[in-house]
Homo-oligomer: A and B are copies of this chain.
Amino acid sequence: MTAVPPSAPPGVGEAERVARAALSRVFEPGDPRQTVLVAELGAEALCAHLLAEADLAGVRTDYGARLAATDGAQELERAARRGIRFVVPGDPEWPPGLDDLYGVAPVQDRGGPPVGLWVRGPVGLHELAGGVAVVGSRSASEYGAAVAGDIAAEVAGAGLPVVSGAAFGIDRAAHVGAVNAEGRTAAVLACGVDRAYPREHARLLGHLVDHGAVVSEAAPGCAPQRIRFLARNRLIAALTGSTLVVEAALRSGALSTANWASRLQRTLLGVPGPVTSAPSAGVHQLIRSGAATLVTSGAEVLEAVGRPGEHLLEVPRAPERARDRLTARQRQVLDGLPVHGGARVDSIAVSAGMGVVEVRGSLDRLARAGLVERDATGWRLAAAGRD
């Protein structure tokens, strides 16, 4: 998003962590100016600058005023008391994938890596890198929700974490699918990790706090706002190695996550649906344009996201049929029979381009295999021979 290269991870000295906690309260999530300034100055120095800045009339700038009213150490302590940790670069839990956000231009003025992430729950952020983000419409169809749940269950059941946004529709189906498979799942929120949004998902979020992870760039207590949803989408894409879109209407938030995944060189997958279904239109566009690979099952997702040689998938085949067990010349005789009605041996021999004697022998064998039968009009295909 900027020309600034990711410098060596800043030390996780307490002062830097405290400064970042304060900045997290002052800047909106995904404000790319913050990213640039922190990369150039470090969080401590940036805080000092902001606190010292005043306008011509000697009045503190907005940011300075807000920073003066914020106590980073207290933020961290209050969070810790509620089981919330603040993960910053250099922490063992910091996922290097977030630093990929340095290389990608902002969208709608949101971009860059976060100064830190607030996390609740036993699953570590670094575990999510091998996981799959499952995203899609809030107004999902029954079809979409069912497929999202099934795929999430298969992915989580295979040991890969499922990451989503805890919204209605596909997000919820993905989390629930992973929970039912007793796999790991994490929700990245647009509000503070201590808030349940949407309210209807309070129990689900409570479960993730106990067994998975709830993650946010916004400081605890922050309300969900549009700008925070936009910023959140980039984190879902950056935290995981692959993003799967299951139903996304044209211009939905899920497409913004997909766009981030593409730009971050993540694996992008899409589940197709009926072309008559509006919630599938966005996914079809992603597949048509070549941005996403079409997948139809959890097994195909695992194949796409696995390390080379892992989760290898056989190309689906129909079950073997009696026909498959014939020799080439027996098949030739079978193919010489008319589709409807019967035929005499000599006419079948002409069709098959073979001698009458050989054809007669083959017909007996085909009859024993149940593929042909004989009646008054001659030899005809049996039901099994039609397949």
Contacts and interface: CB of A to CB of B under 8 A. Distances in A.
Interface in A263-302: 271-276, 280-281, 284-285, 287-288, 293-297, 300
A62 B353 contact: yes
Interface string A147-180: 1000000000000000000000000000000000
A307 interface: no
A322 interface: no
A334 interface: yes
Contacts of A280: 272
A143 B272 CA distance: 14
A339 B226 contact: yes
B288 A337 contact: no
A338 interface: yes
A250 B285 contact: no
A275 B271 contact: yes
Point out which of A225, A250, A251, A332 has the most chain B C-beta atoms below 10 A from its C-beta: A225
Contacts of A274: 143, 272-274
A287 B294 contact: yes
Interface in A289-343: 293-297, 300, 315-318, 332, 334-341
A1 interface: no
Interface in A334-387: 334-341, 350-351, 353, 355
A62 B338 contact: no
Contacts of A109: 332
A207 interface: no
A316 B251 CA distance: 10
A224 interface: yes
Given A272-B272, A274-B274, A334 B226 contact: yes
B293 A288 contact: yes
A249 interface: yes
Contacts of A297: 275
A66 interface: yes
A37 interface: no
B294 A281 contact: no
A284 B272 CA distance: 8
Nearest to A351: B225
A227 interface: yes
